Structure 1
Amino acid sequence: MEIGSEFHISHNKILYSEVFIYKDKDILLNYGRTAIKFLLENLQDLEHIRGVLLPNYLCESIIQPLKEINIPYEFYKIDKDFKVIINDMESKLKPGWAVFVLDYFNVRQEKELLNYINNIRDTNIIIEDITHSLFDIKESIGHFQIASIRKWLGLPSGALIRDFYNGKMHNLVIPETSNINSELVQKRFYAAILKSLYLKEQGNEHVKSEYLNLFNEAEMILDKSNIEASKIDSISKEIISHYNFESMLEVRKENYKILYTGLKELQAVEVINGRPDDNKVPLGFPIKVHDRDSLRNSLIQANIYPPIHWPLPEELLYEPTDAILNISRSILTLPCDQRYTEKDMNRMIKVIKNHYWS
């Protein structure tokens, strides 16, 4: 069985239990980039923000909405351990600018940063991207939180905005599902069903080709289209409204523990988020290795497909710091989500050890 890549529809886990991922006043939209654009457009109108300060390690989908609304932005530096360089943030922060903070792979920010953020909360809007830490037990540091739910469940669409500020966002009208969103939802939903069929009938390469094409077509539509704010689609909302989240959280934690136990003594592998923590629920198992591309090829040959979070956007390659080059050239995320078992984790460990010991 393959490990990684896009999610499939697992019929025994949807419509299972009444556990909700979102709170009553959360704003549910179609995609993470939509949430960013919708939030910033309205903050421009409501709070007159003049620009956005971003970390210099992120994915292109965070920058795209800022370009579309033509709002100024600048980058502050993080170090090789995903910690914010506070002096750099402080030197670049301007009056009226929002500050965008990412929770990288559940890595906890240091108390010094939390104190600094607390000191500027009265003068600058703080936006916290909690996609990587959506289920963690921790306090919010932002006026707003955003997250892609889709990354956790493989939904056709799904993102949220949480407003801890003044509640004005709750009164805004969100458009109904757009034509572009409908096409994306259909393609992703059909692709996920086909992948389920493929996993049951291993070896049907025609089915695999079909679902890969559908996933690729959906991504191309999203990447080439202007971002349109829409509500989350009804299929995705139904799934997350009845999903067995307790099981999902436990499986992810357990799979993380298995990978950590199996790889912690391997000198070639740096485990980014360290030892298991019951207050953290992993999106994946990120590691750094000196020969990332070679290891990834070994994994792919074993039908294991680990993503890279993230290839650097082009504009960050103009003047990259040594820290983000170190990350971008060595990082790899091993899948440890609810689709997989202890047997799958041990298979992944074996492939990695064979790669370095052979």
Structure 2
Amino acid sequence: MTKEIGGYFQLEEMPGEEYYTDLYRVNLGRTALLWILESRRCKKIILPYFLCESVVHTCSENQIETEFYHLDEKLEVQYPKGQLPEGVYLYLVSYYGQLSDDRILEYKKLYGNIIVDHTHAFFQRPLKGIDTLYSCRKFWGVSDGAYLSTDTKLTENNTPDYSADRMKHILGRYEQDAGTYYKDMLANAAKYEGMELRQMSRLTQNLLKAVDYETAKAKREENYRILSELLPSENIFNQIIPEGPFAYPYFHANGMELRRRLAAKKIFVPTYWKNILESCERDSLEYTWAADILPLPCDQRYGAEDMKYMAAVVRECEELE
């Protein structure tokens, strides 16, 4: 393509640096997993029941046999111990950043073949020799993008992704509100089903260079601290306070109703793992975790006053019961 000179201006090249400059860059977390599955010649993957369905779909769409395991009340893997045979991998998820490096190394020693999902733990650096994936849109204002730490190579990963058409809901919310662009966000997410593995788009990579990671990390940690003081919640998902927390996991015995009341006051708390509410028994740990753990936002968009306001509204909504 002939280089264009002149005409109207495009987005500027950002002068900063990404948080992960030495990892592979791909378009989505699920395609990062696809990279691992293909390059490792994975035949079978052992997944937790407590898992979003996009991972399961990625495996089934690529003819990977799946088996499932439960977690106990301490988030310990309930699967027979022993080195896994070639082509079989155990999938580990760091829920709310609760999977420490020490535990990852223990599982590596126990099972050998493991894949670590740090979707909820962006700031937790990967361990050498352990396939680890990260999703960018769970932490930053981008529509896509993922990082992958692995020592395998996939030569077919040469096609760049393009993100411009996926930015409407992100840019729209910046200037207006979430509700106006909520349908656009859902429509955008639906397009990710079955998406092929591609390189991270230039647009996403450029936007990630503009993030002040240290400030964002510090804000998340301070906001988490404030919520933990105003809304103390003893549950397995806040035993470890991770670096730059994903969210503040708050337990409420009637979590779905509390979500509805908060949404009416424009405090939007997502229900992750909605598929669990349909596939698991109500008395299971997985169902309780999906329904009654509320990931209260504590990210870099907000400050101390926002946290105090949110905590007050949570208490107000709880008093209605």
TM over 0.5: yes
Instruction: Give the residue type in structure 1 aligned to 2:209.
Output: S
Q: C-alpha distance in 2, partners of 1:66/1:321?
A: 28
The one-character-per-residue Cα deviations of 1:154-193 (angstroms, maximum 9, x if unpaired) are 3121101101xxx332x62413235xxx4xx234312211
Q: TM-score, normalised by structure 2?
A: 0.86
Measured in 2, the distance between the counterparts of 1:214 and 1:325 equals: 29
For the Cα contact (< 8 Å) 2:271–2:291, is it kept in 1? no
Q: Which residue of 1 aligns with 2:152?
A: 168
**Which residue of structure 2 lines up, in the alignment, with residue 217 of structure 1?**
187
CA–CA distance in structure 2, aligned partners of residues 318 and 259 of structure 1 = 30
Q: In the aligned structure 1, how far is the partner of 2:120 from the partner of 2:70?
A: 19
Structural mapping, 1:82-121, within 5 Å: 82-85=75-78, 88-90=79-81, 96-108=87-99, 114-121=105-112
Per-residue deviation, 1:136: 2.9
- Which residue of structure 1 aligns with residue 294 of structure 2? 332
Q: Give % identity.
A: 24
Residue from 232, 237, 257 that aligns with 2:225: 257
CA spacing shift, 1:108–1:212, aligned 2, 3 Å: closer
Mapped contact 2:73–2:285 kept (Cα < 8 A): yes
Query: Can you give the 5+ residue segments of structure 2 that lack an aligned partner in the other structure?
Result: 1-11
How many residues were matched structurally? 309
Task: Give CA-to-partner distance per residue, 1:279-312, whole Å, 9 cap, x none.
Answer: 5221111122111111111211111001122223
Alignment of 1:215-294 (within 5 A): 215-223=185-193, 226-264=194-232, 269-274=233-238, 277=241, 280-294=243-257
| 1:61 and 2:29 aligned | no
Instruction: Tell me: higher relative CO, structure 1 or 2? Use CA pairs within 8 A at least 6 residues apart.
Output: 1
Q: What's 2:314 paired with?
A: 352
Determine the C-alpha separation between the residues in 2 that align with 1:244 and 1:57: 32
* 1:137-148 correspondence to structure 2 within 5 Å: 140=127, 143-148=130-135
In structure 1, which of residues 73, 88, 105 is the aligned counterpart of residue 66 of structure 2?
Answer: 73
Contact 2:59 2:66 in 1 (8 A): yes
Distance 1:307 1:322 in 2: 20
Distance change (3 Å), C-alpha of 1:116 and 1:192: closer
Provide the TM-score with structure 1 as the length reference.
0.77
How far apart, CA to CA, are the structure 2 residues paired with 1:113 and 1:153?
25
CA RMSD of superposed structures (Å): 2.8
User: Aligned AA for 2:32?
Assistant: A
Aligned residue number for residue 202 of structure 1 = none
**Structure 1 stretches lacking a partner, 5+ long:** 1-13, 200-206
Q: Check conservation: 2:96, 2:120, Cα contact below 8 A.
A: yes
Q: Distance in 1 between matches of 2:17 and 2:173?
A: 26
